[in-house]
Amino acid sequence: MNKLDQLFEQFYNQALEDSIKAVGPVERKLTLKMNLLNLLGDFSDLEEEKVAFQPEILEIKEFGEYTRELIILPVTDVLEIKMYVLTPNNDKETYPSVLALHGHGYGVKEIVGLKADGTEDEGIPGIHQHFAVQLVKRGLKVFAPEVIGFGERMLTRDVEQGKQNSCEAMATNLLMEGKTLAGLRVWEARQVLNYIEGRQDTEPGRIGMMGFSGGALVTAYTAALDPRVKATVLTGFTNTFKGSIMSMRHCIDNYVPGILNYAELPEWIALIAPRGLFVEAGINDPLFPNKHVKEAITVLEEAYQSRPEKFSYDMFEGGHEISGRKAYDWLNKQISN
């Protein structure tokens, strides 16, 4: 370790030392939630511009076990969310529901069984494992929005330059304005929760979330802030800041200025407690190393010591990818009972 390494280790330790306050656990939890809202950025201007939900159905396709709709959901006059809605083909009138958030790749098509060009993907699924399809086949109604910055929700300049996403452009612009891309994505996720909650075919109090990689970041912060999320699955994300995004190159959408001054990542995730939480991690994930997954799980187990049945995890043989071997059924059980 050279002197510059020592300097940055000193910065890290000082940030954590300053974050430790002599307050009770309940007060600290409430304070952290308030701080998280502030750190993500102020999007109250969007709140004032919201319009009534009047979704436009662009496509309906029937499959053996489910129906897939593609809708456009207007949120403000200039902000609309492209979203797939997957509904089980059974005799039920209402369903437990899941907000499913994809990670980096070619967008929401990757989790609903489509290729980048919009054709059906009948081959071996990629790292997202078509997880929205896996959930609807378990009887859950799935809402899968295209996360802003990906797929068909990119800035014109990035589309023209052939870039894979608009994360850098969006994040840097928002940072200059005192906001964060993570904050905008969390704000959008909570609008989708509003939409889910207001539908006649969803069951009140039975909403879950599942996110992978960057989608898990949005899922974690959304579930931490929004008590409507009964159970949460995080795949390819749970770690420490130091062991992941501070140790190697990650997309800029992972970074929230000043967040380490209040807590390390496991404590932010622990804000979800005592509601259900499932952590899934590939043992060989190079982006979120397993050593630090284990550190985070130790913190989370302590947070759930009064409700251990609400927390579970699965470390599977794999890399930065979804497994689902235990997570899908766990989520179904948590929100269906």
Per-residue pLDDT tens digits for 196-247: 999 999 999 999 999 999 999 999 999 999 999 999 999 999 999 999 999 9
CATH number at residue 132: 3.40.50.1820
Between strands 80-88 and 66-74, the pairing is antiparallel
In this prediction the pTM is 0.96
Q: Is it the case that residue 297 has pLDDT exceeding 70?
A: yes
212 vs 150: CA distance, rounded Å: 14
Q: Considering its fold, how many domains does the chain have in total?
A: 1
pLDDT exceeds cutoff 70 at 22: no
Confidence (pLDDT) at 20: 64
Q: How far apart are CA 195 and CA 184, in angstroms?
A: 17
User: What is the C-alpha to C-alpha distance for residues 267 and 296, in angstroms, rounded to an integer?
Assistant: 8
Q: What is the pLDDT of residue 34?
A: 96
Residue 257 CA, distance from chain mean position: 19
Looking at every residue in the chain, the average pLDDT score rounds to: 96
The b-or-e profile of 165-199 (16+ CB within 10 A means b, else e) is bbbebbbeebbeeebbbbbbbbbbbbbbbebbeeb
178-195: pLDDT as tens digits: 999 999 999 999 999 999
Residue 17 has pLDDT above 90, yes or no: no
Contacts of 201 (CB under 8 A, 6+ apart): 87, 93, 94, 95, 141
Task: Assess contact for 232 and 193: CB atoms under 8 A.
Answer: no
The yes-or-no verdict on residue 150 having pLDDT over 80 is yes
Residue 18 has what pLDDT? 72
Model pLDDT, residue 53? 96
To 10 degrees, what angle do helices 167-176 and 181-198 make?
100
Q: Which helix (H) or strand (E) holds 70?
A: strand 66-74
SS3 100: strand
Q: What is the pLDDT of residue 205?
A: 95
Question: By residue range, what is the domain housing residue 10?
Answer: 3-336
pLDDT reported for residue 112? 98
The pLDDT of residue 164: 96
In degrees, to the nearest 5, what angle opens at C-alpha 83 toward C-alphas 323 and 127? 20
pLDDT of 73: 98
